[in-house]
Structure 1
Amino acid sequence: MAENKSKNLLEVKDLEVSFFTYAGEVKAVRSISYELKPGEVMGIVGESGSGKSVSSYALMGIIPEPGKVIGGNIIFDGKDITNLSEKERLKMRGKDIGMIFQDPMTSLNPVFTVGNQINESLKKHTNLNKEERTARIIELFRLVGINQPEKRMNQYPHEFSGGMRQRVMIAMALACNPKLLIADEPTTALDVTIQAQIVELLKELKTKINMGIIFITHDLGVIADICDKVAVMYAGNIIETGSIDEIFYEPKHPYTWGLLRSMPKLNAEEHERLVPIEGNPVDLINPPKGCAFAPRCKHCMKICLEKKPPAYNISSGHDALCWLPIKDEYEKEVKNNGKSE
């Protein structure tokens, strides 16, 4: 049993994704690496355009043209799936890896009933007969909290509210009991009550079926409620990784500090303003020579503009792509050496 727990469900190694446009090569994902175990939830957080969704599309093999994976490896359940053929991808999508897309209204086909759309996946990936597939759809609807499933499965997407459409998307993603679920901003544009319900639902499901989850969002509040660990992305790089406690209480990258400062706080003083991260995201056609965050960073040093920082290991599982902790460690060593002399 211990051996299974330590085995990684997913290993992403130095993944690179680019879009080859008329204006030049857009380096959307620039050499990212992470691991995910069964039953673990990893949050990927960052501004729009940081590469969160593109990195997840690479896992599914659905990067739109003119984008393509140009480097790195994706190891899923012990198998390299980086360069699978489209036929092999179709066998894997929905069965082994499920995905909840960002906008359920545009992801669901308006001309088919929601039951028909889930039935299509079950028909392709399972050996269930018609009655068994219907029973499975009803079971899934009950699992995700949709009342009157026998009636609702024969309705069309426009007959559902935003929160209910998102529940249908979750049911569709879970239909074949995937080992990995990718949730791409599943709570965006939903009111806070529905957000909380969907987060609770995902927490229950990952415990019930020991499913690995990648939860993509720009909302750190949601991340804190569901994830075991967090990867902070900026300009196509993962610039800090760590556990929930490490990212929220001991962040080491100035960009992570900025994200945390821009969140509303319950204990804030009256009329206290949120602190935005000043400046604009970098141009990914011509990314900076050094640290991508340097042009917006108040702590920027000369080396930040000239050389990309290495991943600095703060503690087990906590890394930051920043020169500041390296500088702090160097100054601490110099101080301690001075005292010993």
Structure 2
Amino acid sequence: MAELNNKSLLNVNDFEVSFFTYAGEVKAVRGVTYELKHGEVMGIVGESGSGKSVSSYGLMGIIPDPGKIIGGSITFDGKDITTMPEKEMAQIRGKDVSMIFQDPMTSLNPVYTVGNQIDESLRKHTDLNKQQREERIIELFKLVGINQPEKRMHQYPHEFSGGMRQRVMIAMALACNPKLLIADEPTTALDVTIQAQIIELMKELKDKINMSIIFITHDLGVVSEICDKVAVMYAGNIVESGSIDDIFYDPKHPYTWGLLKSIPKLNAEEHERLIPIEGTPVDLINPPQGCAFAPRCEHAMKICLTKKPPLCHVGENHDSLCWLNVKEEFDKESGK
């Protein structure tokens, strides 16, 4: 496995994004903070609408209208990309930071061959001539496991299966050897066999070129396969973060407990029902005054409804945004 470089590649600090709609301000990302080192893989998990994808679009500088960055900073490789001019950002996007989008069929242009679409990125970000670019595309296709690359590069997206289109998207994202790869639910629409192949492929590529990966998903099972650490998002906040072992074996936030209970287990009793998280996600136009998860939390206390919980350090590099952790610490100190 590639050695992790202790220097930070990415620092996201108190990052906030809002969408200004006719109905009001949707506070989609509400103060996200995390760090990513060279060669590290971080999983971002949570329900749909928790802010996972929007926070990653900020890293690429592609937040769609009517969205705006309203606070915080993102420092990538020593540069603040939230204040960077678009011309300079365009040089980083696709070269140093690449993204595999959720749905390859809508992300690939149906009227251009897949080779042409990868070639566009190579023309923009490298000095390779036409023959060298063609050789690079063939090399990328072999790297991601696409057979007959010389023939396949001249085909259109509709001529590929779902798993193969996803491999094309990965090849496109890797074309310029990025330092950071953002994978937004890259295995959601795939069957389990292809899913396992894609995860194995990403693990191999990470080690080969020592790139960092942010893996966005709602599937904790997938996260356990590839990630070094996990950030659990709910209602635009990271409510818990830690190593794989911290999150799976010593979770400290009720929302994380709920996510883990909803995963099917191989050793479960026959006909054992999964336990869903009751209730619905909060309205981010009018988020609650206190903890956003309190209305759905069976452990909620009075303070949870009125005051936002502080970030508690519950272990080495393990943090949780929950009043229960404050109570637990208080009970320890008072000898209860």
Secondary structure (helix, strand or coil) at the match of 1:298 reads coil
- Per the alignment, residue 218 of structure 1 pairs with 218
How many angstroms apart in 2 are the aligned matches of 1:225 and 1:317?
Answer: 20
C-alpha distance in 1 between matches for 2:309 and 2:164: 44
Q: CA deviation at 1:84?
A: 1.6
SS at match of 2:309: coil
Task: Give the C-alpha shift of residue 216 in structure 1.
Answer: 0.1
Tell me how far 1:4 sits from its aligned partner: 8.4
- 2:151 and 2:310 mapped to 1: Cα distance? 56
SS at match of 1:6: strand
Relative to structure 1, the CA distance from residue 112 to residue 68 in structure 2 (aligned partners, 3 Å threshold; closer, same or farther) is: same
Alignment of 1:19-58 (within 5 A): 19-58=19-58
Q: Identity across aligned pairs (percent)?
A: 79
Q: Which residue number corresponds to residue 79 of structure 2? A: 79
Structure 1 residue runs of 4 or more that deviate by more than 6 Å after TM superposition? none
Greater alpha carbon shift after TM alignment, 84-93 vs 129-138? 84-93
Confirm or deny: 8 A CA contact 2:4 2:40 kept in the other structure.
no
Name the counterpart of 1:91.
Answer: 91
> Which letter maps to 2:62?
I
SS in 1 for 2:38: coil
Number of the residue aligned with 2:145: 145
Cα drift, residue 316 of structure 1:
1.3
1:192-203 correspondence to structure 2 within 5 Å: 192-203=192-203
Q: State the SS of the aligned residue for 1:30.
A: strand
Any gaps of 5 or more consecutive residues in structure 1?
Answer: 337-341
Alignment correspondent of 2:158: 158
> Quick one: distance in 2 between partners of 1:106 and 1:54?
18
The CA deviation at 1:297 is 0.1
1:235-270 residue CA offsets vs partner (Å, 9 max, x unmatched): 000000000000000000000000000000000000
Q: Is the 8 A contact 2:4 2:39 kept in 1?
A: no
Partner of 1:175: 175
TM-score, structure 2 length as denominator? Answer: 0.98
1:42 aligned partner, one-letter code: M
- Classify 1:46/1:4 alpha carbon distance in 2 versus 1 (closer, same or farther; 3 Å): closer
Determine if the alignment matches structure 1 residue 243 to structure 2 residue 258: no
In structure 2, what residue type is equivalent to 1:19? F
Q: Residue 227 of structure 1 corresponds to which residue in structure 2?
A: 227
* Alpha-carbon distance in structure 1 between the residues aligned to 2:267 and 2:57: 38
Q: Contact 2:259–2:277 at 8 Å: present in 1 too?
A: yes
1:339 is aligned to: none
Q: Which residue of 2 aligns with 1:299?
A: 299
RMSD: 1.0
CA apart distance, 1:88: 1.4
Distance in 2, Cα, partners of 1:271 & 1:95: 49
1: CA distance, partners of 2:236 / 2:28: 5
